[in-house]
Amino acid sequence: MFLIILIPCLNEEKTIQTVISSIPQNMSGISAVSVVVIDDGSDDCTAELARKAGATVLSHPENMGVGAAFNTGVDFAIEAGADIVVNMDGDGQFDPSDIPALIAPIVAGQADFVTASRFKDKTLTPRMPTLKKWGNRRIAGLVSFLIRRRVYDVSCGFRAYSQEALLRLNLMGKFTYTQETFLDLAFKGLKIVEIPLAIRGEREFGTSRVAGNLFNYASRSAKIIIRTFRDYKPMEFFGGIALVLFTWSILLGGFFIGYYWRTGHFSPHLWAGFTSGFLFLFGILFFVTGLLADMFDRIRIGIEKLLYIEKKKLVEKISSTRLKKPCKSDDSV
């Protein structure tokens, strides 16, 4: 299998060469390894040092976000005919020697998507601020609830994807991609595996461009999660809101009618009657919106199937016309 290592970077000149040089070249089931650094608008020597270390460099002219950098890398990997893609950071928090363990379930045909987990094995939980640890677990709990299965870490950026996962993956978020990936692949029924690995909890140099501000990270990640759930489960999303509105409408309406039945007067609780009516109307509005969104979701599924077929044809064409080999040229995106 042809393995591509994607490393999205922003100003990682102090660690990028060490990370690249530590990536193992001989792994079971892998015939060729290529390292691709996505330079997301760095203003230091990250790109130059990555090239010197032997990596292909894809450059964004300006900072676009780690989600956009990941998408650039995925598109490149598909066009290069990668069988497996590993995504990792360039800051040194992940140990490249763990890559063989990370890709093993995919090589064995047991998984489509494998992610390193910092919290599944409590003995491997890294040292990090308590608030950051709490936030990671709350986000994992939310994603677990949405996909109806227990997951422990949905924010770790050390992951492996099969070719099938790459072809089916369709992401919209530019700020980050980690939680959206879980939702996208889980809703499509792909096999997901979490592997507990020892990971450094804090960067050695600088601050995280994604989780540097925890409030900003939490709010923007929550927005991506909610939008993804809305797009993939529109009837549950809008229908759930409608159900809440209908429930409160019935409760207030029951109170209003009950009061009139006992006293023969509407006053002083006319507010309950008006509020019940407004809530009922908004409930109908959200229910109808859910029906329309569900119809559009069927259209989206059809479009994604066509996109998958085209990507599959591209990969098959690449496989039939040349041997898989490491990437050899740098590109600006």
| Over residues 244-258, mean pLDDT | 95
Beta carbons within 8 Å of 166's beta carbon, 6+ residues apart? 74, 77, 78, 82, 85
Q: Which residue, chain included where needed, has tokens 């800051």?
A: 91
| Over residues 29-43, mean pLDDT | 93
- Does residue 208 have a pLDDT over 60? no
Whether residue 64 is found in the same domain as residue 199? yes
Tell me whether residue 314 is in a domain: no
- Residue 322 is predicted with a pLDDT of 53
Write the CATH number for 122. 3.90.550.10
Locate 305 and state its tokens. Answer: 């199937």
> Domain span at residue 228?
2-232
Tell me whether residue 315 is in a domain: no
Tell me whether residue 323 is in a domain: no
| Over residues 240-250, mean pLDDT | 96
Using 50, 70 and 90 to split pLDDT, how confident is the model at 329? Answer: very low
Share of the chain above pLDDT 70, in %: 91
- Amino acid identity, position 309: I
Q: Lowest-confidence range among 30-34, 110-114, 126-130?
A: 126-130
Q: How many CB atoms lie within 10 A of CB 173?
A: 23
Domain count of the fold of the chain: 2
- Residue 313 is predicted with a pLDDT of 87
- Does residue 280 have a pLDDT over 60? yes
Whether residue 177 is found in the same domain as residue 279? no
Whether residue 212 is found in the same domain as residue 105? yes
- Residue 297 is predicted with a pLDDT of 87
Distance CA 326, CA 4 (A): 8
Tell me whether residue 327 is in a domain: no
Whether residue 289 is found in the same domain as residue 239? yes
